[in-house]
Amino acid sequence: MVGSSHEALHRIFQKDPALLTRALQRVLHVPFPEPHEIAALNVDLTEIEPVERRVDTLLRAETDEGTYLLVVESQGKVDDRKRGSWPYYLSYLYEKYRCEPVLIVITQSSATARWASRPIRLGFRDWHSLTVRPLVLGPDNVPVITSERQAERDVPLAVLSAMTHGRGPQAPAILESLASALRTIDPDSAAVFVQFVDSCLADPQAKQMWRDLMTAIQYFWRHPLAEQVREEGREQGRAETKAEMILHILEWRGIQVPDAVRDRVSACIDLDQLEVWAQRAVHATDAAELFVEE
166-200 tens-digit pLDDT: 877 788 899 999 998 998 988 888 888 888 888 88
Q: What is the predicted pLDDT for the residue at 45?
A: 62
Per-residue pLDDT reduced to its tens digit, 96-108:
999 999 999 999 9
Grade residue 294 by pLDDT with cuts at 50, 70 and 90.
low
Predicted confidence (pLDDT) at residue 5 exceeds the cutoff of 90: no
Q: What does the pLDDT average to over 226-254?
A: 69
Contact (Cβ atoms closer than 8 angstroms) between residue 9 and residue 108 = yes
CB atoms within 10 A of CB 50: 6
pLDDT given at position 283: 82
Alpha-carbon distances of 136 from 83, 107, 116, 224, rounded to whole Å: 15, 8, 7, 32
Q: How far is CA 187 from CA 10, 183, 192, in A?
A: 21, 8, 9
The answer to whether residues 14 and 79 touch, using CB atoms and an 8 Å cutoff, is no
pLDDT at 99: 92
Q: Which residues contact 51 (CB under 8 A, 6 or more apart)?
A: none
Residue 236 vs residue 281, higher pLDDT: 281
Mean pLDDT of 38-42: 77
Predicted local confidence at residue 42, as pLDDT: 74
**Cβ(239)–Cβ(270) under 8 Å?**
yes
Mean pLDDT of the chain, nearest integer:
83
Sign, Cα dihedral of 169, 172, 173, 178: positive
pLDDT of res. 236:
63
Helix, coil or strand: residue 253: coil
Q: At what angle do helices 171-181 and 271-283 cross, to 10 degrees?
A: 140
The SS3 assignment for 104 reads strand
pLDDT in tens, 60-75: 999 999 999 999 999 9
